[in-house]
Structure 1
Amino acid sequence: MPHIPLPENLPGISSGFAFRPETAAPMRELAHVLLYTSGRNTDLSSRDRELIAAFVSSRNDCTFCKMSHGAAATHLNGGDRSLLNDVWTDFQTADISQKLKALLAIAAAVQIDGKKVTPEMVKIARDAGASDLEIHDTVLIAAAFCMYNRYVDGLATLQPQEEGSYLQMGARLAEQGYVPPK
């Protein structure tokens, strides 16, 4: 049961966005730039960006964000969810690049406390091929998802538990992004 009267038919962040559209617009735009458009313009793909968002959301135990961004990452991975499960279980042993492992280590540190990111972590990421933009965006994705996760959970929004509830949403996010069509 949400802590304030939110639209009953909208799950997760969607209900908060409907409650306060004027704050929803910049939050949607930030997610759109970080996860959708930037993933088409840099070497850090939208799939990897969604994996970072789902990873941080998993560590924050936010079901809605974990599942919706996990579904987007899975869609961008050709429908194969095994990579997502491996990242959630132990990203260091997952079948991903050393660069993405280094970026996930940075995201994990940001999820705890931004001051936990060390020069050594950044060096490892750079040595693995990460650009300054990719390091920047990883930190911002992790920080933003801490905010999004706390927004969703702090309002006690409706969060379906079954994976199937998120498949269509994940496909839409992966294909269309985060800003509603005009």
Structure 2
Amino acid sequence: MAYIDLGLDEHQYPGVRGLLSYRSDTGLLLSGLAEALLRGPSTLDTGERELIAAYVSSRNECVFCCSAHTAIAAVQIDGGSHLVDAAVRDPATAPVSAKLRALLAIAAAVQRSGRHVTAELVTAARDVGASDREIHDTVLIAAMFCLFNRYVDGLGTKTPTDPASYLAAAENIAAHGYLPEQARGAAMHR
């Protein structure tokens, strides 16, 4: 049970889902940021961006976010769960591109502290084809997941133990995104 009363069935709204519903005003902003960074226009595919989120969440030992984003990445990236699991475990030996490996190194630096991102890490990413936009988005995704990880764990939200629950949520997010249904409908009518 979460440390505060979310006024929701935590089995239906585990992890960050319950927190986003508890404060729908901030929840909509956070969901919008996740939608823009993880699913919006980018030269990084959605699976790669989700992998960055899973990797940072793993490093932060946030079981809910790591499990959720590992599943989301796996349903969206070539190589599926084998590739995602290998990259989360050790990007240096995972079967990922040199560019993604360099971006994961930047994400790891952000996870430790923004000050750990160095000109050398950025140059190394550029040298293997990363654009300034991809470097920017990697830093922002990593920073956002440090926030999400601390939000979820700091309020002690429910973390499902059944991997099937993460897969079902992953397929839903892959199909519909991060915005709540009513916000998706409003965005379509603009």
Equivalent pair of 2:32/2:178 in contact (CA under 8 Å): yes
Query: What amino acid is aligned across from residue 150 of structure 1 in structure 2?
Result: R
**2:93 aligned partner:** 93
1:31-74: CA deviation from partner (whole Å, max 9, x where unpaired): 0000011xxx3221110000000000011111111111111111
Given that 2:60 and 2:146 are in contact with CA atoms closer than 8 Å, whether structure 1 keeps it comes out as: yes
- Tell me, which stretches of 5 or more residues in structure 1 are unaligned? none
Question: Which aligned pairs between 1:35-54 and structure 2 lie closer than 5 A?
Answer: 35-37=38-40, 41-54=41-54
Q: Distance in 2 between matches of 1:46 and 1:78?
A: 11
Indicate the residue corresponding to 1:18 in structure 2: 21
Aligned to 1:30: 33
> What is the CA–CA distance in structure 2 between the aligned matches of 1:19 and 1:55, rounded to whole Å?
27
Q: Identify the residue that residue 188 of structure 2 maps to in structure 1.
A: none
Give the fraction of aligned pairs with identical amino acids, expressed as a percent: 49
Secondary structure of 1:91's counterpart equals: coil
Mapped to 1, the partners of 2:43 and 2:97 lie a distance apart of 12
> What is the correspondence of 1:1-182 to structure 2 with a 5 Å cutoff?
1-6=1-6, 7-8=8-9, 9-37=12-40, 41-77=41-77, 80-181=80-181, 182=185
Structure 1, residues 129-161: CA drift from partner, whole Å, max 9, x if none? 000000000000000000001000111000112
TM-score normalised to structure 2 length:
0.91
Cα RMSD between the aligned structures? 1.2
| Letter paired with 1:130 | A
After the TM superposition, which segments of 4 or more aligned residues of structure 1 sit over 4 Å from their partners?
A: none
Q: Does the aligned pair in 2 maintain the 1:60–1:149 contact within 8 Å?
A: yes
* Aligned residue pair count: 179
| Contact 1:63/1:161 (<8 A) preserved | no
What is the one-letter code of the residue matched to 1:153? D
How far apart, in 2, do the equivalents of 1:141 and 1:156 lie?
Answer: 22
Is 1:74–1:84's contact at 8 Å kept on the other side of the alignment?
yes
SS in 2 for 1:48: helix
One-letter amino acid of the structure 2 residue matched with residue 161 of structure 1: T
How many angstroms apart in 1 are the aligned matches of 2:132 and 2:173? 26
TM (norm. structure 1) is 0.95
Code of the aligned partner of 2:56: V
Letter in 1 for 2:54: A
